[in-house]
A = this chain, B = another copy of it.
Amino acid sequence: MKAEIISVGDELTVGMIVDTNSAYLSSKLAGIGIPVTRHTVVGDDLDEVADAVGAASHRADLVLVNGGIGPTIDDVTRQAVAAAAGTTMRLDAEWLEAIRGMFTRRGYVMPESNAIQAMIPSAATRITNPCGTAAGFFIKINSAEVSVFPGVPGELRAMFEQEYLPRLLEAAPTGRVIVTRSLKCFGMPESLINEKIRHLMGAGKNPLVGLLAKDAVISVKITADADGEAAALAMIDEIKRTVRAILGDETATPPGPIYGEDDDEMQHAIARLLTGRRLKIATAESCTGGLIAKRLTDVSGSSDYFIGGVVSYSNEAKSIFMGVPENLFAEVGAVSPEVARAMAEGIRARLRTDLGLSITGIAGPTGGTPKKPVGLVYVALAHSMGTELQELRLTGTRDEIRDRSAKWAMNMIRICRH
């Protein structure tokens, strides 16, 4: 069994948007042993879409089409697939009621233009959209089963995972699987990680081990090809143990860079650590402007350990909320180890938490001086045994400096022993 993916949208063919849906669907299908042999991207053009669907339906067993099923006049995928199937359209009355209900619950009357989202080809079977108004559907065309999904990534993923995949697995259980798992690292340069584990890497190995760097996080990717998921996971686990022994996590001495696995972000590692140790934390942010608090609270249930935070973008706010002495600003400046310490200790005392994390720095692009250049950031972590300080000198855009400094600050929580 093999599959092809077709993404529809002018915003893709003009290069305004990168097609991430094809990669998502491909990795999911690979995960259950169904190879994807081709992606095709076409614009919102009825003939082009019909032509692409028709051609794919001769080559593949499964054709997954996404995009072009919104309510606007540009959205031609429904009609194009019907044309490729040589059939007409019908109204799915049940789904029309569902759409009306969605609008009603939000306090609107459904615009009549949305009714088209309940139209599907006559011979097609609807795939319910768990989080949107556009109905998906599947239909037999030539030797293939052609399925149509929304192009909005969130809706596509929900529909694929909740509706499409369970039905597919029930209809055609596959044997071989390709499974990828990752170990996520922060705080050690990619080249050093590469040096330490390169003997595990190399083309043609199974499991295949590779490094992927993104936003200062280095992922050790481990891909196994095996008969069944259990076998693949066992092969991956063996490599994981070896990599963990070499690189180490926060329990190693000195602490290692591995903070988590797969989709883990630093905030998930912190959630586990603080929950396990029953510690509460508060934050005081200047240059990151709330980014650390935002990430800590990305985790559902974070109110168990995150008490609150302050974004003190002015000196006044630093004094009002953390009691930072006003003379410090004149003496050493807001971006200084002294102010970082006063912020961390101040927020810890104010909110009576175990840990107080602070950050102050110059994110740029303006505001730098020769003595205090853009990218200079001070981070402080106050705890029961005292206050730890870290000076960072980062490069990059404003967004990058804010992202990296938030990660270094959060990493201090991770490797803290107190």
Contact = CB atoms under 8 A, between A and B. Distances in A.
Interface in A57-108: 70-74, 105-108
B291 A294 contact: yes
A192 B109 CA distance: 10
B351 A72 contact: no
Contacts of A363: 300
A323 interface: no
Contacts of A142: none
Contact of A311 (B11, B26, B310, B367): B310
Contacts of A70: 190, 211, 213
A228 interface: no
Contacts of A191: 71, 110-111, 113-114
A316 B19 contact: no
A307 B38 CA distance: 52
Interface string A277-307: 0000011010011111110111011110011
B307 A290 contact: no
Given A72-B211, A283-B311, A321-B321, A300 B14 contact: no
Interface string A371-397: 000000000000000000000010111
Given A288-B294, A297-B289, A317-B351, A39 B16 contact: no
B74 A201 contact: yes
Copies in the complex: 2
A27 B180 CA distance: 32
B108 A189 contact: yes
A310 B310 contact: yes
A279 to B, nearest CB: 14
B316 A310 contact: no
A201 B74 CA distance: 8
A39 B36 contact: no
A120 interface: no
Contacts of A72: 190, 194, 198, 201, 203, 210-211
A211 B105 CA distance: 24
Contact of A105 (B16, B105, B195, B393): B393
11 contacts: A14-B26, A14-B35, A15-B25, A18-B23, A38-B48, A72-B194, A293-B293, A294-B294, A302-B313, A308-B320, A310-B310
Interface of A: 10-20, 22-30, 35-45, 48, 52, 55, 70-74, 105-108, 110-111, 113-114, 131, 152, 154, 178, 180, 189-192, 194-195, 198, 201-203, 208, 210-214, 221, 223, 282-283, 285, 288-294, 296-298, 300-303, 306-314, 316-317, 320-321, 350-351, 363-367, 393, 395-400
Given A14-B178, A111-B189, A308-B311, 12 more contacts: A18-B18, A18-B19, A39-B41, A40-B41, A44-B203, A45-B203, A70-B190, A72-B211, A113-B198, A297-B311, A300-B365, A303-B314
